Amino acid sequence: MTQNRIRITSLDGLRGLAAVIVLLHHTSLVARPWLDPAGWAVLTQSPLTLLLAGSEAVLVFFVLSGAVVALPALRPGFSWSRYYPARLVRLHVPVIVALGAATLLIRLIRRDPSTMPQGSWMQDAQAANASAGDLLSQMSLLRAGYPIDNVLWSLRWELFFSLLLPVFVWVALRVRRAALPMAALAVLAMFVGRSTGTAALTYLPVFLLGTLIAARMPGIRALAERPRVRRLLPGIALLAAVMLIAGRLAEPLTRGTIADDLLWALSGVGAALLVLLAIAWPGGRRPLEARPMQWLGRVSFSLYLVHAPILATLGYLLGAERWWLACLIGVPLSIGAAAAFHAIVEAPAQQVARRFGDGCAAALGALRERVTAPARPSPVEAGSR
């Protein structure tokens, strides 16, 4: 496994794959009003739905964040005073720029929701206008809804997890030997959250699954090296894929029932298994470590941020009946825009975040030394001795 100290490159590839699936998911939502029920069923109630499972791909993102953000915090010498400022800059700078660009698109290209199919993603999930107040409130990542760039709902939970990371790490370390029962409790919490409409319970336990993986990383790798376990890994990969999309496959039968909530919770298990396989299964790591997947992983955050405003803008610019052209142009344009956004915004933001974190840690360290250093005697006191 190729890694630099704590970076696991196969997880970068998995992140890139998840970002592409979210892109395809939103592209399918643009097309949905124009597809007949039979065609939509083929896309969403067959194995093809793996390519469109955007909500489930977000769960994969959450497990990935739970693992890769927690890994450094589990190692000696980790600095919380460096982590917090760097993490907040790392998240917020690209978000602020993406929201600014999306707002500019909204103002440049007129949006009339009445021209879009009733109840469609284009009509209901895309802002028709954006005031300065809307922009500022959505930049905070503290709102429940984000019509300017509607993918930001998940970044809200990324922010909460980042702020609560010490709690997640503390729990993972305390229950390291009982990680499986704790994971089961996390999945149960997902089920309760989904069935009661409690968003925090629905999503935050998914991050805990990733943190538990990080805490048990050496044991996971050792277990995967056993010949008997290796023979089971392809079957576990199939099981993970089925669990991830089981709710979609069963939706006609389970819609509106408690079974739908249960299958949603099990999709979290599928997401966690996929992350485990990306770490421990050579057959899963190899394609994820290929250069195209690594490139997608590198620009995945940028792709996630820019694609929804691009699809929405194309939809309104070209008109509802040219949805197919918006989809055809939107996918490659989003990937190209992600590459540019990464080069111009995200990569520089990462550098600024590292420098800012280092500066804050150094300043806090100097302040701590000044506060704890013994007081020097004044010249008068020294002379009287």
d(CA 200, CA 65): 16
- Which sign, positive or negative, has the C-alpha torsion 304, 310, 311, 313? positive
The overall average pLDDT reported for the chain is 93
Q: Spell 358-367 as b/e; 16+ CB within 10 A means b.
A: eebbeeeeee
SS3 of residue 260 by DSSP = helix
Residue 379 located in a structural domain: no
Q: What is the pLDDT of residues 124-154, one digit of tens each?
A: 999 999 989 999 999 999 988 899 999 999 9
Q: Are 92 and 71 in contact (CB under 8 A)?
A: no
Say yes or no to pLDDT of 383 above 80: no
Say yes or no to pLDDT of 112 above 80: yes
d(CA 231, CA 233): 6
Q: What is the pLDDT of residues 165-212, one digit of tens each?
A: 999 999 999 999 999 999 999 999 999 999 999 999 999 999 999 999
Residue 209 located in a structural domain: yes
Q: Spell 166-199 as b/e; 16+ CB within 10 A means b.
A: eebbebbeebeeebeebbeebbebbbebbbeeee
Residue 71 located in a structural domain: yes
Give me the number of domains the chain comprises: 1
pLDDT band at 2 (very low <50, low <70, confident <90, very high): very low
Residue 381 located in a structural domain: no
Range of the domain at 147: 9-364
d(CA 32, CA 37): 9
Which amino acid does the sequence have at 310? Answer: I
d(CA 360, CA 124): 42
Q: Are 213 and 278 in contact (CB under 8 A)?
A: no
The length of the chain in residues reads 385
- For residue 45, the model assigns a pLDDT of 86
Residue 25 located in a structural domain: yes
Going by C-alpha positions, the residue among 218, 224, 208 that lies closest to residue 175 is 208
Residue 202 located in a structural domain: yes
Q: Are 244 and 274 in contact (CB under 8 A)?
A: yes
Which amino acid does the sequence have at 204? Answer: L
Residue 18 located in a structural domain: yes
Q: Are 150 and 126 in contact (CB under 8 A)?
A: yes
Structure-block tokens of residue 224 = 């995967």
pLDDT band at 224 (very low <50, low <70, confident <90, very high): confident
pTM: 0.93
Once rounded to an integer, what is the mean pLDDT over residues 323-347? 98
Q: Are 13 and 294 in contact (CB under 8 A)?
A: yes
Which amino acid does the sequence have at 356? Answer: F
d(CA 146, CA 125): 8
Q: What is the pLDDT of residues 21-69, one digit of tens each?
A: 999 999 999 999 999 988 888 888 889 999 999 999 999 999 999 999 9
SS (HEC) of 340-385: HHHHHHHHHHHHHHHHHHHHHHHHHHHHHHHHHCCCCCCHHHHHCC
- Backbone φ/ψ region at 197: left (φ over 0), alpha (ψ -120 to 50), beta: left
d(CA 70, CA 166): 9
Residue 274 located in a structural domain: yes
